């Protein structure tokens, strides 16, 4: 289960001990962008094991082309793309530093224009759905896990309005 951004890592760490036996591939440091390529590599290295990638939207933008390779290789990867319309890890670092200039704030947002990650995935050959509620996410996740091959679930979560 690769993690593509520090933001979902904390929540995953809380539930992982109660999950079925699994491997977790995480990032080191605060680098972002490795989640999709790591998921692809895991699927190619162990094609008999399904891969679940918890991928943040900002981090995905660094390596979105990995979805095309997942489609070409028919990699068994379910990507749950957690979309909060911004670079949360960069926002957290800016908040720690404090006093980000107003003109710089839009540079770490992904909302003008908004990105339809399901449409991007579909456009390069990965079946995709969008979830706006936890019920939708649960249903779509179960369906994606049952089907072999790549899938992307665009989960729109906790979007900032400031």
List pLDDT tens digits, range 50-100: 999 999 888 899 899 999 999 999 999 999 999 987 766 667 777 777 776
Which secondary-structure segment (H or E) carries 77? strand 77-83
pLDDT score for 1: 44
**CA–CA separation, 65 vs 61, rounded Å?**
9
Residue 49 in this model has a pLDDT that exceeds 80: yes
Does domain 36-156 correspond to CATH entry 3.40.50.300? no
pLDDT score for 131: 96
The sign of the dihedral angle between the CA atoms of 66, 70, 71, 72 is: positive
Per DSSP, 133 falls in state: S
Strand partners, 155: 82, 131
For the residues 153-157, what does the mean pLDDT come to?
Answer: 92
User: What is the model's pTM?
Assistant: 0.80
For the residues 138-148, what does the mean pLDDT come to?
Answer: 96
**CA–CA separation, 41 vs 25, rounded Å?**
11
Closest CA to 64 of 24, 124, 149: 124
């Amino acid at each position: 289960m690769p993690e593509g951004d520090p933001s979902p890592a904390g929540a995953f760490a809380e539930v992982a001990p109660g999950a079925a036996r699994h491997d977790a591939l995480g990032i080191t440091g605060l680098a972002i962008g490795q989640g999709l390529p790591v998921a692809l590599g895991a699927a190619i290295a162990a094609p008999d094991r399904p891969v679940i990638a918890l991928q943040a939207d900002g981090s995905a933008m660094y390596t979105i082309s990995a979805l095309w390779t997942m489609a070409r290789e028919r990699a068994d990867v379910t990507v749950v793309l957690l979309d909060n319309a911004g670079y949360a890890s960069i926002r957290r670092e800016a908040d720690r530093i404090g006093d980000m200039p107003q003109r710089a704030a839009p540079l770490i947002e992904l909302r003008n224009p908004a990105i339809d990650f399901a449409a991007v995935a579909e456009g390069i050959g990965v079946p995709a759905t969008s979830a706006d509620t936890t019920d939708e996410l649960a249903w779509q996740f179960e369906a994606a896990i049952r089907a072999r091959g790549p899938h992307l679930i665009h989960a729109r979560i906790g979007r900032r309005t400031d």
